[in-house]
Amino acid sequence: MTRVRPQLSPNAQYILEQRYLLRDEQGRIIETPEQMFRRVAGELAKAEEQYGASPEQVKETAEQFYEVMARLDFLPNSPALMNAGTSRPQLAACFVREVPDSIEGIFKELQAAALIFQSGGGVGFDFSALRPEGDPVVTSGGQASGPVSFMNVFNASADAIKQGGRRRAAMMGVLRVDHPDILKFIRAKQYGGRLENFNISVAVTDAFMEAVKADREYELRHPRTGEVVGRLSAREVFDAMCECAWARGDPGILFIDRINESNPIPSQTIRATNPCAEVPLGHGEACVLGHVNLGHFVKENDHPTIEWARLEEVVRVGVRMLDNMHDRSVYPVPDIKGAALANRRIGLGVMGWADMLIELGIPYDTEQAVSLGEKVMKFINETAINESRRLARERGPFPNWLESIYAQRGEPPRRNATVTTVAPTGTTAMIAGASSGIEPLFAVAETRTTPLGTFVTIHPLFEKIARQRGFYSEQLMLKVINHGRIQDLDEIPEDVRRLFVTTLDIAPEWHLRMQAAFQRHTENSISKTVNLPPEATVDDVRRIFMMAYDLKLKGVTVYRYGTHEHQVLHLGLAERLAEW
């Protein structure tokens, strides 16, 4: 057997050393990246034992898991890389909690959140059950503080706790559009320094969106009684969302009816998602994620092609790995285990989509790219479902199987209620040397600011093509590093400039059409941002939000370049140096 060693970039090596590799009590690193992958693979393969696997079969599975990680073909979510095989084996990335309308319940969920952050997970919260600000509180004779006030309490808690002790705690705050405090919520992040640990999203209903189109009023309902307590212009509320998203990037929108229509457990109502919105979950549920590096599945020749057989093999290994993560994870809050194992949701997704397109010679903003995106995700989703059915034959279906739409339709049993998602894959993509999720390239040379430091990278495929085509020079590379984009550099051939189109070069419609193509074959949801140039208008945001609804997306987020003082990604080094 050939021994596979990870081939990591200097940036990836640095990230692993700073955040992922194990340390002794003196803080000294005590494992290599190869040993980290061996640790994770060995721990996840142990789940095979409870299903009757022999020691030899467990060893063989561990080797399969190791190889897909060491080749950077597939990586599980960060908590698995950090925690598998340690004394705190919490392996899931995504959690959702619903905050009840009582002081005891609120602070119980705050404690649960603190424990999840400490274990390395991120949490989405639904605050829609909390009574509105100023509402009478019979037990104390006072008045309710309202959802936004309590969100500040959760935000302060997150400030004090890093996820897993190694990264900033991440949260999603969700409020239904018919909550009486909806306008306070929409505007909650309009001033710098507020709710910095939260992404916020409005859970909008189809009825609300149709009222926006018709310019009608809609009803606000008291969360405790369900009684109608007011009416607002749907279009004015929608405009407030658009204006705030244009100004600060928040709120995003969750199309909550669509999310629940696609939930395979009809008896369960989903009210929120994880922090980046790619996994809708019920109260107490957890989801484990993993990402196929699509850029590794292009066969290089005169006419590059996708290696479908190898892609199928890695997807199958990934599904098994993720299902095993449910069995080997130890959750920090008692009610999570039962909720997580009842549905055994997994989120197998992708990174490196932009890389795959470049290797195939297809610009991102083309019909060909959108069509191929749908074809690739359909193949991955069907393969993942097939493998989940195979696991169900070996291990049994998920416990809520008989309640599922699959059982009601007479389909073969599945091991997992959902199998696919598309996550943003920020740090994981950096480790793999891949582009993020299904995003286009942010820049040909980008500057990424993280808690670990600032990383400047030039896309390796650009440098490779520059050498192959004979226009490479150190001077050109420095120019690209300084400017980030290449569209205005005439010394680069026009077809290369077209191929390396970046996010701010792409019209919003192409962002949304690509998301829709992947969503049609993704069982959970998709984390994707429609990045806009600084000169974009509020009307642009309005069109994006409405087009996202018409395309049947489950959610949408926009970000106008330069509107946040703590922006993670920057175009080239020159801009970042000017800020410093």
Residues labelled catalytic: 274, 276, 278
Q: How many CB atoms lie within 10 A of CB 152?
A: 14
Between CA 484 and CA 444 the distance in angstroms is 5
> Reduced to 3 states, what is the DSSP secondary structure of residue 273?
strand
> Reduced to 3 states, what is the DSSP secondary structure of residue 570?
strand
* Residue 107: burial class (beta carbons within 10 Å; 0-12, 13-18, 19+): middle
Q: How many CB atoms lie within 10 A of CB 184?
A: 16
Q: At what angle do helices 460-469 and 353-360 cross, to 10 degrees?
A: 10
Q: Are 43 and 328 in contact (CB under 8 A)?
A: yes
Q: How many CB atoms lie within 10 A of CB 408?
A: 11
Between CA 498 and CA 527 the distance in angstroms is 25
First to last CA, the chain: 50
DSSP H or E segment with residue 66: helix 55-70
DSSP H or E segment with residue 255: strand 252-255
Q: Are 286 and 336 in contact (CB under 8 A)?
A: yes
* Residue 191: burial class (beta carbons within 10 Å; 0-12, 13-18, 19+): exposed
- Residue 481 half-sphere exposure toward CB, CA atoms < 13 A: 13
Distance from chain centroid for Cα 330: 22
Q: How many CB atoms lie within 10 A of CB 349?
A: 29
